Structure 1
Amino acid sequence: MRAPVAVLGIFVADLAFRAPRLPLMGETILGQGFKDGPGGKGSNQAIAAARAGGDARMITRIGRDTFGDMAQKAWAADGIDTSAVAIDEHLPTGAAFIFVSTETGNNAIIVESGAAAKLSPADVVAAESVIRGSKVLITQFEQPVETAIAGLSLARRHGVITILNPAPALPVDDAIYALCDYVTPNETEAATLTGLKVETEAEALAAAKEFVRRGAKNALITLGEKGALLHGEAGTHRVPAFKVEKVVETTGAGDAFNGGFAVALAEGQSPVDAIRFGCATAGLSVQKPGTAPSMPTRTEIEAMLRAG
């Protein structure tokens, strides 16, 4: 039986452009590739969780339009439960502009949430049975913060493990961290949220301690090619990343990590083993182009774990 993971977040259609650099204001440059496909942090994490072996359940809002059809098709392909997906008859499904550097594989993104911007605490209440029946709930900040708080609160009430991936980094009241079993920012997000510089492992640990001081049970700071750092009730651990042959695109790597990490926790793996599972999931994702399309399968993840 697959471990149930609920994901509260948004779907957007990713419109990805590849070029050597971003244009200057008023400038037009020629691209070197274009691709559209399913995206949005919540949807990406749900797809990552489903492919990693979890029973993923999506909680969101989409429009009744072409991009909404793209969402439904993507979720159906990976067997994601959409019983808590609301269809908005008035607002369009969201979209994201993604610039991908052909030189480095790094990215820059603009997100318009569309119908998911109206994802509300009432939608969370409507999804209570989905959350109650899950082992883990993961949410982010692409939908309204009050909705994320409602989801974390409801999950905590039902004894569900809570993960907050605070992206994009937004100013929030510290009270939200008391609802988090794990808060999982990357280095940039950790620096923005704590006001501390996060460029070294020691600085990452200081930021993690600050999240715990603010109320989180555990802070898990993802460090890209350096792995991840955990601090809190589960102890202090630095877990290295897996070596990869070539980074093709980093878009979605954080979502891959969080989706994999959530599944491993839902299966009862230890926090450190769950981080290794998440690192393997992310390490595989950066070797393929795209966001949701780059999410690896359970077979691929287990092969990377065995290879060490």
Structure 2
Amino acid sequence: MNSKIFVLGSFNVDIVSKLERFPQPGETLHALSNNIGAGGKGANQAYAAAKAGASVTFMTKIGKDQFSHFAKEHLASTGIDNTIIIESENCPTGNALIYVCAKTGENMIAVHSGANTEITHAEVLQAEQHIVGASVLLTQLENNIEAIVQSMQIAHEHGVKVVLNPAPYHTDTPKLLPFVDIITPNETEASLMTGIEVNDLNSAKLAAQKINQMGVDSVVITRGAQGVLLYENGRFQEVPAIKCVVADTTGAGDAFNGALVAQWVNNNNLLDAAKFANAYASLAVEREGAANMPDASLVAARL
């Protein structure tokens, strides 16, 4: 496999408030801090994959607004090899409002998709040569489903492997599965996909088997503090969680997905890639901000 990854995904401006605890309905709390940063699952995953050593092309759509210059500056600073940035005439740049609990590092997020969900058929076709020239297409569900399906079909028809991070979960997810080689839900997304409440190892295994039966060869369920469960070729494998000092879990899944694909594209071994990505994500949660990806050179020491 070559090491080129094409990422179709979102760019959001993240407006982050750190609080001592989450507010109750109707309650106003004083924030410990506020900041504006770059985010979006696609941008974060492309950034992580680039930091983990892959050659990445990232395609996204933003608005022509006060955030567009911010988006371009950020993407130019990430080390992503090639960015395809489409600018919408009538939709704003996507944005997310994020609460982070200072005590636990957990987060609550509300996203306004904006231009992310306005990618057209013609715009995907313009990127076709980049999709076909990659060995892996990585995507999520923060763009319009039509664009995601179209990019997956192009990849599938040309033998390009497709990795789907089904986040945030979408009711149309099942119709994407015929084009997917590896899927990476967390426990919540696995539950929504299968109707099985995933709350322990046994239920995670049942969900992984069901997703496999739905048409995906390789299933990677991320389980937070419980580690990672892999299911492929009729076999389960577990990657235990790595102890770390959690500062902010925002973007942890994105760090995992980007690192997973970057490592997998180099050696085609999913277990090794999951171990690497698990360690990479453990480094990411020790940093504040979704788009604050660690250097991959730190992974060996962490492992």
Coarse TM-score class (shorter-chain normalised): over 0.9
Task: Using the TM superposition, give the Cα deviation of residue 236 of structure 1 relative to its aligned residue in structure 2, in angstroms.
Answer: 2.0
Q: Where does residue 248 of structure 1 map in the other structure?
A: 247
Which residue in 1 is equivalent to 2:64? 64
| Aligned residue number for residue 106 of structure 1 | 106
* Structural RMSD (CA): 1.6
TM-score (normalised: structure 2): 0.95
Distance 2:56 2:234 in 1: 25
Aligned 1:22-33 pairs, distance under 5 A: 22-33=22-33
Amino acid across the alignment from 1:111: V
Distance 1:82 1:63, change over 3 A: farther
**Which stretch shifts more, 116-125 or 38-47?**
116-125
Map residues 165-244 of structure 1 onto 2, 5 A cutoff: 165-172=165-172, 174-233=174-233, 235-244=235-244
Identity %: 39
| Contact 2:166–2:173 under 8 Å retained in 1 | no
Are the aligned partners of 1:191 and 1:207 in contact in 2 as well (CA < 8 Å)? yes
Q: CA deviation at 1:27?
A: 2.6
1:75 aligns with 2:104: no
What is the one-letter code of the residue matched to 1:180? V
Give, in whole Å, the separation in 1 of the partners of 2:82 and 2:91: 19
State the partner residue of 1:297.
295
How far apart are 1:65 and its partner, in Å?
2.6
- Equivalent residue pairs, number: 302
Distance in 1 (CA, whole Å) between partners of 2:156 and 2:276 is: 24
Q: Is the 8 A contact 1:98 1:109 kept in 2?
A: yes
Matches within 5 A, 1:34-53: 34-53=34-53
The alignment partner of 1:78 has SS state of: coil
| 1:222-274 Cα distance to aligned partner (Å, 9 max, x none) | 01122111112373211112222x11111100000000001011112411001
Unpaired runs of at least 5, structure 2: none
Counterpart check, 1:135 vs 2:135: yes
Deviations 1:145-171 (A, max 9, x none): 222111211111121111110011121
- Partner of residue 286, structure 1: 285
Secondary structure of the corresponding residue to residue 66 of structure 1: coil
- The gaps in structure 1 that reach 5 residues or longer are none
Alpha-carbon distance, 1:82 to partner: 4.3
User: CA offset at residue 175 of structure 1?
Assistant: 3.2
